[in-house]
Structure 1
Amino acid sequence: MQTSTQPSAPYQNRTKKSPSVKIVLLIWILLIAAGITAAYLYSNHLKHEMLQQLQRDSRQQMNELKLSYEAKFEALSGEVKELESKVQSFNELLTFTKDNATSKTDNSNKLYTQLNEVKKQLSVLQQKMDLLK
């Protein structure tokens, strides 16, 4: 029996495979870390894009709301101006009526009423005269 101090062939193959397994495991760990990092960066990119889109949409909606509000405000402002002019004319009419509501006006109203009664009586008399003819 001969004993040798050199390792046998199968043992030499195992030592050579051992470092390559370490390298493969290291590469796999690096790939996994790169994948996780890429996923994290991509999710941040998507989040950033989504926030920008939401900001654009909200600005657009705010502008539309502002335009709608301004249009309604203008319409209401026009209606208020119309009402103000009607109130002003009504106030002028009340002032005119108040100024003319004196005893002189009351007398002229009485005279007008009496004149209408006299006209009616004249027309009745005219009819009677026509019958007598």
Structure 2
Amino acid sequence: MSDLILEQRTASPYDRKTRKKRGNRTFLVFIGVWLVLICSGILGAKWYTDRIQQKIAADLERQTASQITAMQQTYEARMLELETNYTADLAELKAKVDALNELLTFTKDNADSKTDNSNKLYTQLNEVKKQLNELKKSLDVLK
């Protein structure tokens, strides 16, 4: 019996050391595996969010470009329409001014003295010239 106790006392410190070493190694391997899992999870989440952000940014860029193109086309169509309308209005007004100038010249040539009709025509001619100048200014502002 004393031999058995003596063997247990002498074997115990050796067994304890190997168990401690094995326990420490197991614990370190366990911690290492968990760290690898956690880091890979974090990196995977970052990669996924970056990919989603890039996809959303590309979609927004594409939508914005199409909206800008549509707005430019609408703007150019409106400007062309306005320019055409102003050009037509200016041509019509110029024709009226020319007709009034001819009529005024005709009345001045035929009238021996100044009459009220020629004064009215001259006044109308001045008004038409003022309108023509205003239209020109508006056209310049639009350009």
**Whole-angstrom distance in 2 between the partners of 1:101 and 1:81:** 30
The structure 1 segments of at least 4 consecutive aligned residues displaced by more than 6 Å after TM superposition are none
1:43 and 1:59 map into 2 onto residues whose CA distance is 24
TM-score for both structures, normalised by structure 2:
0.65
Answering whether residue 12 of structure 2 is matched by residue 7 of structure 1, we say: yes
- Match status 1:62 vs 2:63: no
| Higher RCO, 1 vs 2 (CA within 8 Å, ≥6 residues apart) | 2
Larger radius of gyration: 1
2:95 — aligned with what? 89
Superposed, 1:1-133 pairs within 5 Å as 1=2, 2-3=5-6, 4-7=9-12, 11=16, 13=19, 15-102=21-108, 104-106=109-111
Q: Which residue of 1 is the match for residue 134 of structure 2? A: none
What's the C-alpha RMSD, in Å, of the aligned pairs?
2.4
Tell me, in whole angstroms, the C-alpha distance in 1 between the residues paired with 2:59 and 2:15.
Answer: 64
CA distance in 1, matches of 2:15, 2:71: 81
How many positions carry a matched residue from both structures? 107
2:12 partner SS: coil
Gaps of 5+ in 2: 113-143
Report the alpha carbon displacement of residue 80 of structure 1 after superposing the two structures with TM. 0.8
Unmatched tracts of structure 1, length 5 or more: 108-133
Rounded Cα–Cα distance in structure 1 between residues aligned with 2:73 and 2:12: 89
Q: Hey, what's the Cα distance between the residues in 2 that align with 1:50 and 1:28? A: 33
Structure 1 residue 13: Cα displacement:
4.8
Secondary structure of the 1:86 match is: helix
Alpha-carbon deviation of 1:44? 1.4
Deviation, 1:27, is 0.3
